[in-house]
């Protein structure tokens, strides 16, 4: 790491993993070079890209010495490219930018200013999250921008206890809207899972498991600092084509579980345990291969959950049992909700379950006489013939939720 002189602005390494993005790469690089914060290095990893990206990088590197090109002989997928960037970064801080996206001119400065304001001695904060971020798609005819998602969060200083009680305050913000202290990543060997596209979940949770405090900023205090994430396809299409095909989500969850167990972090960091179950459910409907892989992970965790006194709660044990042994997803949902002892968990799970109901309202009514499945388990004990059958099933299985008005 480059030694920082007193009163000198810290060096920020901006990392790009580049593969088949020649159409958008120049716009991305231009937005980085226009940053008001000037003490940056731009580590561009050519991740075995077969298009013209390499020539574009050479052209820009000749114009600006802050651009460093790292060339990989073969494609190592997104996570491998990010690791290569980390291994070649010299900055005190790390920031990721995807090469088909662009950032506003105050993006880097906003996060550096925030961490210097909140932690001038560099001892308390190792992560700043910029929630001023958007997913968008461009209309091909009008060139107008259609915002698909706004990641805005309430700004402030947070602890890991805050996060354990409210996962949305950070996890929903992807990893590119953040500034990381590199020495912290190196100390705890926080890296990406080689050979995978799924980058956010394992990296973020490994990082958060070691954190005590972090800071979230927003456009309220830091205007002109947004991150604009270009969506070339709807998010659901990406999930189907990339994540399902390679069984990435259950594999990354298993890697995360092993990491937390090996580092004795299960008790401090509660959130991942529940996400093993709740995130996997809506993402893996009608995916028997995923269910078998996921169930294997549950069996692996079963003995640990039941025999680790002081680490897992009775709610956790109930959740594991129901996941493995329930007859269908709504049977599981109803029993699990009734088993919860924590009020916050009941509220969270009720909201999530309404999402399931909405999902199956959309998919169920237009496919008569179809046997629906969820994680390879039967949703219904009989084939669904009409809307009335669905309502009747929900009334019988989920009376505690009082959902008659919502689905009538």
In whole angstroms, give the CA distance from residue 344 to residue 322: 19
Three-state DSSP class for residue 65: coil
Element (H, E) at 215: strand 213-217
Give the pLDDT confidence of 26-41 residue by residue, as tens digits: 999 999 999 999 999 9
Predicted pLDDT of residue 209: 86
Cα distances from 120 to residues 123, 143, 220, 386, in angstroms, run 8, 43, 22, 63
The candidate with the shortest Cα–Cα distance to 228, out of 129, 97, 57, 110, is 97
Task: Specify whether the CB–CB gap between 273 and 222 falls below 8 A.
Answer: no
Residue ranges of the chain with per-residue pLDDT less than 50? 1-6, 235-239, 282, 285-286, 328, 330, 344, 347-348, 350-408
Give the pLDDT confidence of 264-315 residue by residue, as tens digits: 887 776 665 666 655 555 455 446 677 677 777 777 777 777 777 777 766 6
Three-state DSSP class for residue 13: strand
CA angle 273, 179, 215 (to 5 degrees): 65
CATH 3.40.50.800 fits 12-232, yes or no: no
The candidate with the shortest Cα–Cα distance to 215, out of 164, 278, 252, 162, is 162
Specify the DSSP class assigned to residue 124: S
Task: Specify whether the CB–CB gap between 24 and 99 falls below 8 A.
Answer: yes
Q: Is 408 exposed, middle or buried (0-12, 13-18, 19+ CB in 10 A)?
A: exposed
Q: Provide the pairing of β-strand 93-96 with 12-18.
A: parallel
Predicted pLDDT of residue 124: 84
Query: Domains of the chain: which residue ranges?
Result: 12-232, 264-407
């Amino acid at each position: 790491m480059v030694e920082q002189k007193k009163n000198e602005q810290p060096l920020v390494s901006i990392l790009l993993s580049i593969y088949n993005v020649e159409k958008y790469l120049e716009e991305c690089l231009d937005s980085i070079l226009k940053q008001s914060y000037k003490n940056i290095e731009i580590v561009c990893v050519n991740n075995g890209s077969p298009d013209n990206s390499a020539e574009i990088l050479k052209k820009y590197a000749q114009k600006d010495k802050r651009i460093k090109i790292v060339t990989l002989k073969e494609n190592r997928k997104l996570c491998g490219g990010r690791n290569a960037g980390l291994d070649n970064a010299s900055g005190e801080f790390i920031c990721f930018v995807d090469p088909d996206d662009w950032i506003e001119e105050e993006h880097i400065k906003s996060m550096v200013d925030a961490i210097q304001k909140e932690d001038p001695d560099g001892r308390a904060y190792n992560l700043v999250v910029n929630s001023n971020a958007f997913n968008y798609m461009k209309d091909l005819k009008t060139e107008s921008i259609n915002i698909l998602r706004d990641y805005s969060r309430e700004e402030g200083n947070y602890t890991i206890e805050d996060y354990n009680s409210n996962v949305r305050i950070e996890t929903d913000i992807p990893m590119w809207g953040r500034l990381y202290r590199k020495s912290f990543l190196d100390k705890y060997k926080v890296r990406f899972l080689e050979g995978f596209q799924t980058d956010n979940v394992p990296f973020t949770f490994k990082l958060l498991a070691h954190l005590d405090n972090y800071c979230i900023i927003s456009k309220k205090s830091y205007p002109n600092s947004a991150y604009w994430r270009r969506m070339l396809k709807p998010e659901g299409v990406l999930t189907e084509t990339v994540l399902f095909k390679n069984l990435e989500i259950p594999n990354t969850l298993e890697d995360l579980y092993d990491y937390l167990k090996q580092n004795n972090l299960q008790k401090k960091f509660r959130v991942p345990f529940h996400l093993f179950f709740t995130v996997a459910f809506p993402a893996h409907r009608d995916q028997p291969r995923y269910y078998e892989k996921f169930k294997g992970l549950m069996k692996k965790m079963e003995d640990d959950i039941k025999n680790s006194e002081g680490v897992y709660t009775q709610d956790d044990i109930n959740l594991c049992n129901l996941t493995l042994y329930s007859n269908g997803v709504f049977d599981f949902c109803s029993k699990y909700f009734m088993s919860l002892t924590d009020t916050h968990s009941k509220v969270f799970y009720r909201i999530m379950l309404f999402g399931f109901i909405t999902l199956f309202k959309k998919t169920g009514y237009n496919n008569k006489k179809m046997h629906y499945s969820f994680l390879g388990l039967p949703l219904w004990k009989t084939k669904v013939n009409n809307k009335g059958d669905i309502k009747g099933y929900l009334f019988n299985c989920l009376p505690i939720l009082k959902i008659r008005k919502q689905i009538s």
